[in-house]
Amino acid sequence: MELTNNKPERSTSDLVKAAVSGWLGTALEFMDFQLYSLGAALVFHEIFFPEQSAAMALILAMGTYGAGYIARIVGAFIFGRMGDTIGRKKVLFITITMMGICTTLIGILPTYAQIGIFAPLLLVTLRIIQGLGAGAEISGAGTMLAEYAPKGKRGIISSLVAMGTNCGTLSATAIWAVMFVLLDREQLLDWGWRIPFLSSVVVMIFAVWLRMNLKESPVFEQASETAAGKTVTAKKIAAEESALLSMFTSKSFWLATGLRFGQAGNSGLIQTFLAGYLVQTLLFEKRIPTDALMISSILGFVTIPLLGWLSDKIGRRLPYIVLSISAIILAYPMLSMIMDKTGEVNVIMACIIIIHNVAVLGLFALENITMAEMFGSRNRFTRMAISKETGGLVAVGFGPILAGIFCNMTDSWWPIVAMIIVYSSIGLISAICMPEVKDRDLSDPRDAAEIPSRKASEVNVRGSSAAEV
């Protein structure tokens, strides 16, 4: 069934602004993510938890890291719902501001030596507020850009948002690397650790300015114009609330959550826990994990757009399946060479780079566009945000903590391998079970898995009357 389409027009300039806005927002989120994750892994255990043993201090530092992920679930629901009602643009302005301010304030926090227990409490508070905004930021940026991008090019254009992860990770890692080179340990713990967090204010200011000049998503604008011409009744409001709650019984929701679980879990283990484990437990030089992640992020500028382009040609499912299988196969050999303290530094770094590009960056290149296409227009922002953050909370929020506990209990690095395999297997099963969603009509209010008989990408339901189908 094909219906008329009156979707608002957007120029190439509008598309560029949306792409740069999404890229900057994602860059800031992952700059925050990597600034904090490396800080938690490498210095926060001494600044905010100095009275604990080395192993327990690392676990506590990972715990404050995880606190932000609990807040992200709440933020995903609140701001995701707002994004589906008042618009993508307004919510993205709020989230970028919240994230940027909190990251900057971490840079001026007093330490445990100055105010005692209140220092980690303030750190957790800022992480929670920051998490509220971050819970909807990348989903909002992914939703906005997917709804802007033309068919046949959504994968490559959405990869710009994914490349924001590289820019953020690279910037944060580079800043920390410079700190380690220029400052001695006393200077780093005294004042140097503040510089990475304070520097994020530059990205925030530019991102806020750009989003003030961004046009609303054409899909949302079209849906709003349609809704404005209809009578709002208590029955319709109840139906909307029921549709929102029905996500927890939606096949698309749980498949998307599984895809996110695979990527996010590997990210938390490789980018966060592994860096701390190598330095704190195995006594590697701090530059080894930071330099490896920095080089990997640079290579990601090729990996991410290549996979985005490839997904436009062959679909979203097959690349997901291949990458997930590759992560499972590579987990043991890569980790065994990384953990070999007698091995060459270049070999260790090469292994970190390979597993990071395959199990983290490669999957993330596909994640935003695939999850946006999984959901219908009516609750896309909300469902995508909650799905992302549900997977993120369990896999990333608690994953590094559990890895620390298991590695401490077993006095071994085997739990890291096992967790990478488990996370990647969940992502693999979800990819196998999902429908092909490449280039499906984003004005369709139905979730992809609810569309019967044909692939979601083949269904051509357009226009403001799509809700009547």
pLDDT at 370 over 60: yes
Q: What confidence score (pLDDT) does residue 221 get?
A: 80
- Residue 248's CB is within 10 A of a number of other CB atoms, namely 11
Q: What confidence score (pLDDT) does residue 3 get?
A: 40
Q: What confidence score (pLDDT) does residue 434 get?
A: 94
| Tokens, residue 206 | 């530019």
What tens digit of pLDDT does each residue of 224-258 get?
A: 655 544 544 444 444 555 556 677 788 999 999 99
The stretch 99-125 carries a mean pLDDT of 86
| Tokens, residue 399 | 């994953």
Confidence of residue 462 (pLDDT cuts 50, 70, 90): very low
What tens digit of pLDDT does each residue of 263-316 get?
A: 989 988 887 788 778 887 787 887 888 788 888 888 989 999 999 999 999 999
The stretch 15-20 carries a mean pLDDT of 82
SS (H, E, C) 111-156: CHHHHCCHHHHHHHHHHHHHHHHHHHHHHHHHHHHHHHCCCCCHHH
pLDDT at 329 over 60: yes
Sign of CA dihedral 174, 176, 196, 264: positive
| CA dist 341 → 78, 125, 284, 407 (Å) | 47, 38, 8, 17
| Tokens, residue 234 | 């208590």
CB 355 within 8 A of CB 441: no
Give the domain 12-468 fold.
Growth Hormone; Chain: A; (1.20.1250)
CB 175 within 8 A of CB 107: no
| Tokens, residue 312 | 């436009």
CB 330 within 8 A of CB 359: yes
Q: How far apart are CA 339 and CA 228, in angstroms?
A: 60
Q: How far apart are CA 381 and CA 385, in angstroms?
A: 6
Stated pTM of the model: 0.79
